A and B are shown apart, each in its own frame.
Chain A
């Protein structure tokens, strides 16, 4: 899959690539952007690949991304790491308690 960056609003797009589609995988996009209403929450969309608007985006790495390990938030560019408070989608929202320190 490939990783793209879009602006206004700043958005990250994970998109399956043609090689994966040849292997039988689907053409899909997982899209992330920060929620406007709450700085610690993220809007995520899962869409057919051809519905992802990549106009004006740039590819962040030429290598094929293998997958996503998760989302974290960092306060003031410093530790500790925190789990993000939740993920909004157009399907609804489920609150996840936040404030736990991230401990590797």
Chain B
């Protein structure tokens, strides 16, 4: 059985507003414009057409392979459609949003959030599953997060590596 694993990332998004402008803590919302899926298991689905001038890590510029040399090593079989194209189209339709600040939960009404215990008010693992569209694919990463020690978990949240989005 050939099984390919893909990581879904948000490539472009724009801020569309702040839901509580009177508050000192920002609660801004961003609209997702483009999502891409990158394969963890195969180079077959690699597409560097959007990277163009970017295959440079400034920290390792002397040791990195050139783009041309790298592309020559890739499987050039481009006749297959990327298996995540349908999902990419849906998620890049401009109908999905996420919170720019990790401490607030866009999926839950304000009254419910305010009534929560203070210990979980900023916990990104607490949300309304009915409205978080990527709950299904983010679950394994949230479980990973739960296993971190509290300080690591706080750092992970602050970096906003994990994003929950709503429609």
Q: Which residues of A contact B (CB under 8 A)?
A: 1, 3-5, 10-12, 14, 16, 20, 25-26, 28, 30, 32-34, 39-40, 42, 44, 46, 54-63, 65-79, 81, 83-84, 86-87, 89, 91-92, 94, 96, 100, 102-104
Q: Is the CB of B6 within 8 A of A71?
A: yes
CB-CB under 8 A from B161, the residues of chain A are 1, 14, 28, 30, 46, 67-68
16 more A-B contacts (CB under 8 A) besides A12-B38, A28-B155, A73-B6? A10-B41, A20-B159, A46-B152, A56-B60, A58-B55, A61-B11, A67-B10, A68-B162, A68-B163, A70-B139, A70-B141, A72-B5, A73-B5, A79-B83, A83-B137, A83-B139
Q: Which residues of B contact A60 (CB under 8 A)?
A: 38, 48, 51
Please count how many residues in chain B sit with their CB below 8 Å of the partner chain's CB atoms: 69
Tell me, rounded to whole Å, the shortest Cβ–Cβ distance linking B32 to chain A.
Answer: 8
Name the A residues within 8 Å of B38 (CB-CB): 3, 5, 12, 60
In angstroms, Cα B41 to Cα A77, docked, is 12
A4-B57, A34-B41, A73-B3 known; A14 vs B9 contact (CB < 8 Å): yes
**A57 lies within 8 A of B134 (CB):** no
B117 touches A (CB below 8 Å): no
A55 CB contacts on chain B under 8 angstroms: 60, 63-64
- Expressed in whole angstroms, the minimum distance between the Cβ of B122 and any Cβ of chain A is 16
A84 touches B5 (CB 8 A): yes
Which residues from A are CB-within-8-Å of B70? 58
Contact of A57 with B4 in the complex, beta carbons under 8 Å: no
